[in-house]
Structure 1
Amino acid sequence: MDGSTTASVVAFVLYLAVMLGMGLWFMRRNDDVGDFAIGGRRLGTFAATLSAKATDSSSWVFLGLPGAFYVSGMQNVWMIIGLTVGFYVSWRVVAGRLREDTEHGFDWRSGRRAESVTLPAYLANRFHSDAVRLVSAVVILVFYVVYLGSGLVATGVMFGQVFGVSSTTGILLGAAVVMLYSSLGGFLASSYTDVVQGVLMFVSLAVVSVVALVSLGGPAAVAQSIGDANPDLASPFVEVALVDGQWVSGSSVAVVAIVSALAWGLGYFGQPHILARFMGLRTAASTKGARRIGVFLSVTLLGFGGVIGMLAVAYFGPDLANPENGYAQLVTELLPSWLVGVFLAGILAAIMSTADSQLVVAATTLSEDFFRAFVKRDATDRTVVLISRATVVLVSVVAVAIALRGGTVLGLVSYAWAGFGAAFGPVILAALYSRRTSRVGALVGMLAGGLTVVLYPLVDPIGLYELVPGFAAGLLGVWVGNRLGPEPSRTVREQYDAVRSGAPAPAEAATA
């Protein structure tokens, strides 16, 4: 066992011990499903922002994003711009209202104030419909197993790089570790491990970028190397592709490609694991500072990911066997053996730390929005938490099956990201800002958005990212459903107004 492998083993074992310790610690604080699902709304501003950014970034920022820049250059900068703007706007227009609505809303059956701790529960209470809850829960489970699969694909790649095992073994080991501490600690464990992950991501990407830049002779030398490979790699306006070992320029980047890249930002409005961070905030007022921190994190983390991809072009030329392995290869080539193990094992841990957030949301959806909502309404919180822990195993098994089928990290992430953004984004915006939105509008919007993401790639004539037509179909579905279906009841509208004003609804006051 060489120094690199020894350091990898030591770093990973230490990380695992810390994660299990955090899981056991937070297990003691999971007294009810609200604690397990959204941490009892105890998440501070910095922790929420860093956790949200790390959760949506880790595996594909180290693998998929550098791979995209390595293959096609600066045309991918539009994706970074779209994601940064989307992250900021989601904190500005969604976070505060969703935090307040989910705490101070109403239980639609009793008419009394009751908090919602899952996204399907919030939508059901907002629109007075079990059908809305059921459809939203199904959407979450379908797209989450794909999303979680992308994280497990990443663990397979990194386990192979760190320990020299097969990708299949890496996927299975990664799933086992994540499954263990996610089932113990729930939301708080996943959130605070994501804080550690976020710091680790920032330091790792920055260090590797600086070391690679110095090793290559500085910015001028890097620019020369990229120019020798293909000068159009440095242009955000020219299409470039890696074909048969060389970068080939195409036409100008089409408007469709720019729109598709910018549209990634729309996905933030519908990602359940990010919306859960909004719901778990300690106060709604903290969103102002959070969005400023978020812009900085988005620009730096995503920017470093792109820089890594361009540095891989300069360092390896077209000889990198797997474009998504650029970061790991630079670490292996440039850092001392003992530090290689620490960096690679740390990033492996960070990748798995994102998967836990997805597991927690999927598990609470199964337990709270299927089991308690439709199987046993009088189930105790203790029972629901136990069911949540058990369903972590079920979701993990399905995600492993998807990961073993193969696919790129970025490809799997982009599909799940589009599915959530299109199915939930328009409906969440309508729920928060329109008192006239009805349960029919919400149902049609979710179905139209989600199904469009599934079906559009089968007929796509122009290469448009499916999130664009999916989000548009979701908005159109909400509008059509509102026009053709019955209007929201008087109680629904009164409860919406009461949440906005902070006053009791008439029905609530009458039963008080």
Structure 2
Amino acid sequence: MTATKISFLIYLIFLMGIGVYFYLKTANLEDYLIGGREMGSWVTALSAQASDMSGWLLMGLPGAVFLSGLNQAWIAIGLFIGTVLNWKYIAGRLRVYTEKTNSMTLPSYFEVRFGDRTGLLRIISAVIILLFFTIYSASGLVAAGKLFESLFNINYTVAVICGGMAIVLYTFLGGFMAVSWTDFFQGTLMFFAITIVPAIAFFRTGGIEPIIDTAAAGGISLALIPQNLSLLAIISSLAWGLGYFGQPHILARFMGIKSLKKLKKARKIAVVWVAVSLFAAVMVGIISIPMFPEIADSEKVFIEMINTIFNPWLGGILLAAILSAIMSTIDSQLLVASSTLTEDFYNKLIKREASDLEKIWVGRIFVIVIAVIAFILALDPGNTVLELVAYAWAGLGTAFGPAVLFSIFSKRTNWTAILAGMIVGTAVLIFWKETGLSVQLYEIIPGFVSNCLVIMLVNIFDQQSNQSVLDQYQEVDKIYQIEK
């Protein structure tokens, strides 16, 4: 176990070094928030997918499959479809539009894109980001707590604090570039771990027969569509894919890439990465059924699989992959949330003439503030990673997904329609979740649909009439057609 801890800690020190390196290279606010729009294909692709999947990929999804069977794979299928559509239809146009509007956050993009001079769209967007990103960050801290608790045999609360401090440090120092480059290394390590571990474990368990026998004995179905699975359950799982269009931490990667030409290569890398990783994560859950029939916490099956079949030195590296999955999402969320507070509150409402250096330090302070709130939410060990992720993912997807889609594909949509849809969609989602209706149908579906319907309804009575906004839409379309 000492060897495991040493290799694990070496990896942590390596990540801290990246934070320090980019701290020294950060010259202005654009560098800190979106890396100066200079990201390459590999870093963009792996950082986007690593920040997307989080501890959910290595803990939440395998745990769900372990408990309920192969029907949970519909979530993975929905996420794969959403990934492909997001890269193909959203990434390029959003990259061009955010550069044209000089936008570094999603709320500021919405304000300029839809011609809102009141500031309401920016403020409401920022509030929603802070609400759901805090919940999202808490899910990562829960995962980090479970990992540190298992590895170092320490109290859960202490484990959450230790894991969180490591993440906050390099995000605080290095900003977007530190987050993206650490996510690149973390995405590579995650891919290695999620493919090699279940492959070896499969042969260690004796192949497919022990899996089938143990699952049957435990009443766990290995059918993708078992008899007791309803159509609503399948639709709910597939609906996870809708969330992609509204995730600020993923969309920020599209804003930061150097050019549209690099996006084509990045898309191919991202699609392969996510397809293989999701399939392998499902296999971890299935293979764990005969390996750990008595495990108390299903979300720890990947941790136990590593501890069982690998020597301590290699085990430490593979366990670091779980921390990588956790870190790669929390760091992105902390950065986007602090960016929102800095750009959309502090700079717009408190001190418009603030210098870049001042805003960078304000952003760093907000990283700590948001992390502390997420710590408090994560201190309940009864929280599950999957449950917290599902709520935050749905909230962001519902609020911003339709707004992003209409911003790219609807020339005449006005800011009043976007604001109304955002408020109604979010309210419907929260109502659906808090009244328990999400047991029957995932809350993102009624929230997303109601948002779109409200936007279309308001568009009938109040279409975009600002000529500069209309002209800008045409200019962006021309640039995109030329550069793609």
- Shorter chain as normaliser: what TM range? over 0.9
Instruction: State the alpha-carbon separation in 2 of the partners of residues 498 and 343 from structure 1.
Output: 48
CA contact (8 A) 1:11 1:346 kept: no
For residue 488 of structure 1, report the CA deviation from its aligned partner.
3.2
SS in 2 for 1:222: helix
Q: CA RMSD for the aligned pairs?
A: 1.7
Alignment pair present for 1:120 and 2:107? yes
CA contact (8 A) 2:66 2:298 kept: yes
Aligned to 2:245: 269
Question: CA offsets per residue over residues 121-164 of structure 1, 9 Å max, x none?
Answer: 11111122211111111111000000000000001000011100
Alignment pair present for 1:64 and 2:57? no
Show the 5 A alignment for 1:111-260: 115-129=102-116, 130-230=119-219, 233-238=221-226, 251-260=227-236
For residue 396 of structure 1, report the CA deviation from its aligned partner.
0.5
SS in 2 for 1:353: helix
For residue 341 of structure 1, report the CA deviation from its aligned partner.
2.9
For residue 485 of structure 1, report the CA deviation from its aligned partner.
3.5
Instruction: State the alpha-carbon separation in 2 of the partners of residues 16 and 37 from structure 1.
Output: 23
Question: CA offsets per residue over residues 237-292 of structure 1, 9 Å max, x none?
Answer: 12xxxxxxxxxxxx531110000000101110000000000001111222323222
CA contact (8 A) 1:445 1:475 kept: yes
Query: Unmatched 5+ residue regions in structure 1?
Result: 106-114, 239-250, 504-512
Specify which of 413, 416, 429 is matched with residue 392 of structure 2.
416
Aligned to 1:387: 362
Instruction: State the alpha-carbon separation in 1 of the partners of residues 367 and 469 from structure 2.
Output: 34
Query: Unmatched 5+ residue regions in structure 2?
Result: none
Instruction: State the alpha-carbon separation in 2 of the partners of residues 20 and 466 from structure 1.
Output: 38
Specify which of 64, 82, 86 is matched with residue 82 of structure 2.
86
Aligned to 1:74: 70
Aligned to 2:34: 38
CA contact (8 A) 2:398 2:444 kept: yes
For residue 8 of structure 1, report the CA deviation from its aligned partner.
3.2
Instruction: State the alpha-carbon separation in 2 of the partners of residues 347 and 435 from structure 1.
Output: 43
Instruction: State the alpha-carbon separation in 2 of the partners of residues 481 and 172 from structure 1.
Output: 46
AA aligned opposite 1:473? S
Show the 5 A alignment for 1:440-455: 440-455=416-431
CA contact (8 A) 1:9 1:345 kept: no
Question: CA offsets per residue over residues 75-111 of structure 1, 9 Å max, x none?
Answer: 0111111100100000111000000001123xxxxxx
Question: CA offsets per residue over residues 6-33 of structure 1, 9 Å max, x none?
Answer: 2233223322221221112112332221
AA aligned opposite 1:119? L
Specify which of 317, 333, 340 is matched with residue 358 of structure 1.
333
For residue 460 of structure 1, report the CA deviation from its aligned partner.
4.8
Alignment pair present for 1:485 and 2:462? yes
Question: CA offsets per residue over residues 427-450 of structure 1, 9 Å max, x none?
Answer: 001011111110101101211222
Which stretch of structure 1 is more off in the superposition, 463-472 or 286-295? 286-295
Instruction: State the alpha-carbon separation in 2 of the partners of residues 18 and 345 from structure 1.
Output: 11
Aligned to 2:254: 278
Alignment pair present for 1:20 and 2:8? no
Aligned identity (percent) is: 39
With normalisation by structure 1, the TM-score equals 0.90
Which stretch of structure 1 is more off in the superposition, 375-384 or 394-403? 375-384
State the aligned residue count: 476
Aligned to 2:275: 299
For residue 349 of structure 1, report the CA deviation from its aligned partner.
4.1
Aligned to 1:474: 451
AA aligned opposite 2:106? L
AA aligned opposite 1:271? Q
Instruction: State the alpha-carbon separation in 1 of the partners of residues 105 and 154 from structure 2.
Output: 38
